[in-house]
Structure 1
Amino acid sequence: MNQRTAPDLFEPGLFQGTTFYEVFAWYRANDPVSWQHPAGEPEGFWSVTKYHDVVSVHRDTTRMSSVKGMRLGSADSAVDAVANKMLIVSDPPDHTRMKRVLIQPFSHEILGRAEAYVEKVVADVVATALQYPEPDLIKHLERIPTDVICAIMGLPRSDWEWIGKQTTEAFESPSEVRRIAANGEIFKYFTDMVKENRRTATNDFISGITARTHSSPQLTDEELVFNFSGILAGGNETTRYTLAALTHQLAEHPDQWRRIARGDVDPAIATEEGLRWSVPGMHVLRTATEAVRIGAVEIAPGQRVVTWIGSANRDEEIFDNPDTFDVGRTGNRHLSFGAGRHICLGSRLARLEIAAYLRTLRSMVRSLTLEGAPRYNGSNFTWGLNELPVVLHK
């Protein structure tokens, strides 16, 4: 790239492939905290691409606020409706209060009891994929996070397919109208469920959460609804993208697959490389509440700051050979779950599912073949594969 001309980070179609990594590399080397004002955005923002700068933004909950939204392209009215009522768009003390309650179902103890179910779901999905190959393996893989999070939340089995589709629409639809509508459908679903459970107490997940809120801290029904939606999305979309990216890389790099198949690499280690590589949450938005310096740049109060996780995960100062997929990579300090107070609530569950998937592949699958070109969704927010022509072989 021309070192004197900044590449366009918002070129149409850039995220429909992987060439944006070259753009990130340019910014890391030449303009790590750059001013951007893409078409369609009402105002500009600072774009942060280096690892340590990204971490500093995420950890600074005093001067970097989430209340004004956490992604580009969000409607102000939608953000205002959930501000300080939904974990991902809240600041302390509201964030602390809500997280203290909501993190309980994702403790090591509770997830330890769910491990056998996760293994069963993964084994069933892989067995089905072996017996009934699809042109798009994602049609099988998407069942893993959907079935697991829906089961943990105690949602009716008959609703799982609908829930998966609505969650995808809420985050991935190119239409803002459709995203808002899908989120509205999910909010209504949980509103009805919380109301019904107040009367019948038949959902153990909701009852467990609401039981804890009878003493301080207490969540309102509205906060429960918004955060159940967030838990559903966090447990569904991002894990699916990591499973797809990991499978793609194993099929494309047989040497890495052989390391898994032979048992040379611990699945827990390979899981971290899958997370670093897949970057299901590509960017995070914050708003400065007071003047703050990031790198060599002074950020003014009220200005927006966007951190690019995809760039941080390829920072040459942190990762050796960052553009190489290495299932045995150790000391893998990726930021795919974020950093600081807003680190992903479901990170333990995601790791559990991905590691179970790798163990199952090792025990049930002989080889993986890539049968065509994979297709990316083109999003600069929840980025990943939405079509993966990989076939698993016994």
Structure 2
Amino acid sequence: MFEPGLFAGTGFYERFAWYRANDPVSWQHPAGEPEGFWSVTRYHDVVAVHRDTTRMSSTGGMRLGSTERAVSAVANKMLIVADPPDHTRMKRVLIQPFSNDVLSRAEQYVEQVVADVVETAVRRPGPDLIAQLERIPTDVICAIMGLPRADWEWIGRKTTDAFESPSEVQRITANGEIFKYFSDLVRENRRTGANAFVSGLTAQDTGGARLTDEELVFNFSGILAGGNETTRFTLAALTLQLVEQPDQLARVLSGEADPAVATEEALRWSVPGMHVMRTATEALRVGGVEVEPGQRVVTWIGSANRDEEVFAEPDTFDVGRTENRHLSFGAGRHMCLGSRLARLEVAAYLRTLRRLVRAMTLEGEPRYNGSNFTWGLNELPVVLHA
């Protein structure tokens, strides 16, 4: 699973299929890594790991390649690397901006942002559609967080650098700049109360669930990343499938495909969060394999979403797929906070394509970022035709 360039395309899906059939819970120890880990590739085993918060911990990091120092600095202070009771306490506060009532009021704004982006892409097509699509999640999440409009482009760029830059120095620097930005925002809001999003979260005290300023800063960064990177990859993957499969595009543009149903297939197919890691706190069995305390367990969402035992014809992209319990948002306590917001954005994109677009053409070679964590297209030379 660690050959150079494996994730620079889609060939890793064949590797996943081999592991599911022959070695579904395999021991991996890549060259240069100080320790190995268990690699989990089948759907039901992945779900079992995600739902076991008694014997599986997130505080040792949730991704391969994390440094111990960085993880220890945010463990139990950032939702994605927290265990109960800290995870429960933080989620009780942080879920408020993503409640059904709040997002129902945001739907019209989401539709407006998507329409503006697609209209611009049709009028002024550029060499890379992703440069336009990335505005959708960035503008939506920044608006929900009440961030100044003048900062949105900078925020989108820094978020991408923090996760995707090939330079470790640039990734660390970008993360530091994002943390400083939110530190300044929280401190200023303590003085003025001008940001309703921040004020709403700092005022929360449901069952003793108030967050510290440090926890707010770490989790604002997580919200920004979760709302930006993953949705952009899903929109790009969806677009590429539609342009490469004219029959699927015709179903979308004719209105035959239900946007809500097609959204789930886009999420299953795109898998922007490729893997999630946990650390065993006690001995247990995963898929019949003995896992010892302290050992890392890596679940491959990209493999689970193509599991033949769960999905009919899993390697076929079908905008009408109705049996679609994908794991792109995870499972259990760590289910993604922004799942409904992502669904709103993708469904709005599908509706807008039907209204404004008659055809798509691929004008060059799509390119993937090569990451085994936040995986997806970073170049998409597609033109939308009015």
Same fold? TM cut 0.5: yes
The CA distance in 2 between the partners of 1:328 and 1:363, in whole Å, is 19
SS in 2 for 1:348: helix
1:298 equivalent to 2:290? Answer yes
Report the counterpart of residue 318 of structure 1 in structure 2. Answer: 310
Residue type at the aligned position of 1:343: M
Of 107, 113, 120 in structure 2, the residue corresponding to residue 128 of structure 1 is 120
Alpha-carbon distance between aligned partners in 2 of 1:179 and 1:70, rounded to the nearest angstrom: 17
1:235 to 221, 227, 231: 227
The 5 Å alignment of 1:347-386 reads: 347-386=339-378
Unaligned runs of 5+ in 1: 1-8
What aligned pairs does 1:76-95 form with structure 2 within 5 A after superposition? 76-95=68-87
| Shift of residue 158, structure 1, vs aligned partner | 0.7
Q: Which of residues 102, 110, 117 is equivalent to 2:94?
A: 102
Establish whether residue 332 from structure 1 lines up as the match of residue 324 from structure 2.
Answer: yes
1:253 to 245, 248, 257: 245
Alpha-carbon offset, residue 373 of structure 1: 1.4
> 1:211 aligned to 2:171?
no
2:58 corresponding residue in structure 1: 66
TM-score of the superposition, structure 2-length normalised? Answer: 0.99
2:24 to 24, 27, 32: 32
Q: Following the alignment from structure 1 to structure 2, what is the Cα–Cα distance between the partners of residues 101 and 91?
A: 15
The Cα shift of 1:40 comes to: 2.8
The 8 Å contact of residues 203 and 210 in structure 2, kept in 1 or not, is answered as no
Q: Indicate whether 1:342 and 2:334 are aligned.
A: yes
| Cα distance, 1:120 vs structure 2 | 0.4
Give, in angstroms, the shift of residue 177 of structure 1: 2.6
- Matched residue, 2:380: 388
Once the 2 structures are TM-superposed, how far is the Cα of residue 262 of structure 1 from its aligned partner?
1.1
1: CA distance between counterparts of 2:175 and 2:240?
30
User: For residue 323 of structure 1, what is the amino acid of its counterpart?
Assistant: D
* SS of equivalent residue, structure 1 residue 378: coil
Question: What does residue 142 of structure 2 align with?
Answer: 150
Partner amino acid, structure 2, of 1:325: F
The corresponding residue for 1:5 is none
Whole-angstrom distance in 2 between the partners of 1:321 and 1:202 = 51
Name the SS of the counterpart of 1:248 in structure 2.
helix
1:34-60 deviation per Cα after TM superposition (whole angstroms, max 9, x unaligned): 000112321000000000000000000
Tell whether 2:15 aligns with 1:53: no
Match of 2:159 among 161, 167, 176: 167
Q: Which residue of structure 1 lines up, in the alignment, with residue 187 of structure 2?
A: 195
Aligned pair in 2 of structure 1 residues 210, 326: CA closer, same or farther (>3 Å)? same
SS at match of 1:298: strand
- Tell me how far 1:215 sits from its aligned partner: 6.5
SS at match of 1:212: coil
Shift in Å, 1:214: 8.0
Write the letter of the residue equivalent to 1:48. V
Q: Partners of 1:121 and 1:354 in 2: how far apart?
A: 12
CA distance in 2, matches of 1:95, 1:178: 29
SS of aligned partner of 2:59: coil
> How many Å apart are 1:244 and its aligned residue?
0.2
Equivalent position amino acid for 2:199 in 1: S
Distance 1:194 1:214, change over 3 A: farther
Instruction: For residue 329 of structure 1, report the CA deviation from its aligned partner.
Output: 0.3
Q: Segments of 4+ in structure 1 off by > 4 A?
A: none
CA RMSD of aligned residues (A): 0.8
Distance 1:214 1:317, change over 3 A: closer
Aligned counterparts of 1:109 and 1:215: Cα–Cα separation in 2? 21
**Deviations for 1:127-165, whole angstroms, at most 9, x for unmatched residues?**
000000011100110000000000000001111111011
Residue 161 of structure 2: SS of its match in structure 1?
Answer: helix
Of residues 232, 254, 265 in structure 2, which corresponds to 1:273? Answer: 265
Aligned length: 386
Mapped to 1, the partners of 2:143 and 2:255 lie a distance apart of: 30
